[in-house]
Structure 1
Amino acid sequence: MSGLRRKVLWIVVIGLLVVGGILYATSFWKSGTSVKPPLPTVRVGTVTAEVKQSTYCWSDGGEAVCEDHGLPEADDLQLVPVEAGAEIDVEFHAEPSNASFHQLVDGELVPAEPVVPDEPGVYVFETGGDWPQGDSRYVFGVEVKE
């Protein structure tokens, strides 16, 4: 093999490795961000609350991702003003098994009914469940004005 052919062969091999590496990195980056459970819609009375993703393990198309989130502070959430005693309606993408609903009280999750308390204040809630793709928890906050 002549020197020129050897150089061309090496350039082709290196080019293929570079292109393959870029394609692999791009597909890994895209897939890492696409495996996430869909957010539910939460209506509190006539207002829609902003929902944040919390802890989850989710699989889709042979890929699985788990993320662990600590319990949020009220300052971490977009609080919506609501009426005292308003009903909370959580609409998931599909009905979960083992659905749960909690209120965050003094840093602890306490089982609760999906109703805003009657007293003025800031309230943080956590909800979620299990689906065939995995389990997921979601958080949102509301404020009852004086």
Structure 2
Amino acid sequence: MSELRRKGLWIVVIGLMLVGGTLFATSFWKSETSIKPPLPTVRVGSVTAEVKQSTFCWSNGGEAVCEDHGLPEANDLQLVPVEPGAEIAVEFHAEPANASFHRIIDGELVWSEPVVPDEPGVYLFETGGEWPRGDSRYVFGVEVEE
């Protein structure tokens, strides 16, 4: 086999590997992002809180993904300043079955009304529910300033 043909063969092999790797990476990335549940919008009084995805199991056709997340600490979240006693409104992408709302106190979930306490401090919350495609939990935090 001539040197020119051998170089041409290697170029074809490397080209096929690059194309195959790119297609694999693209399909892997696409399937991962398309299976996550949509984030809700959380309004605390007149402020919109930053919501982070927490534990979920979500399906898309024949694929499903489950992720387990521990409860966050205050420094894991972007806290928004809010007024004492502000009402919390959660808008999901669709109405969930078995919706719940909790405060996170000392690393534990405690059932709560969706209202910010009156006392100054940092407050973490967890909410979520079940939908036909799966279940999902979300977390966010607020700070009541003095």
The TM tier, using the shorter chain, reads 0.7 to 0.9
What is the alpha-carbon root mean square deviation over aligned residues?
2.2
Q: Deviations over 1:57-96 (max 9, x none)?
A: 1111322111111100011111111111111000000000
The yes-or-no answer on 1:69 pairing with 2:69 is yes
Displacement after TM superposition at 1:30 (Å): 2.0
Amino acid at match of 1:104: I
The yes-or-no answer on 1:101 pairing with 2:73 is no
Amino acid at match of 2:76: D
SS in 2 for 1:138: strand
Partner of 2:30: 30
Displacement after TM superposition at 1:23 (Å): 1.9
Amino acid at match of 2:64: A
Amino acid at match of 2:143: E
Partner of 2:114: 114
Partner of 2:139: 139
Counterparts of 1:76 and 1:20 in 2: how far apart (Å)? 38
**Structure 1 pair 88–21 and aligned structure 2 pair: CA distance change class (3 A):** same
SS in 1 for 2:78: coil
Partner of 1:85: 85
**Structure 1 pair 145–15 and aligned structure 2 pair: CA distance change class (3 A):** closer
**Structure 1 pair 21–145 and aligned structure 2 pair: CA distance change class (3 A):** closer
**Structure 1 pair 117–63 and aligned structure 2 pair: CA distance change class (3 A):** same
Displacement after TM superposition at 1:21 (Å): 4.6
SS in 1 for 2:39: coil
Amino acid at match of 1:107: G
Partner of 1:55: 55
Counterparts of 2:62 and 2:15 in 1: how far apart (Å)? 27
Counterparts of 1:132 and 1:105 in 2: how far apart (Å)? 30
Displacement after TM superposition at 1:33 (Å): 2.4
Counterparts of 2:15 and 2:38 in 1: how far apart (Å)? 37
Counterparts of 1:14 and 1:103 in 2: how far apart (Å)? 57
Q: Deviations over 1:102-128 (max 9, x none)?
A: 001111100000000111100000000
Amino acid at match of 1:75: N
SS in 1 for 2:43: strand
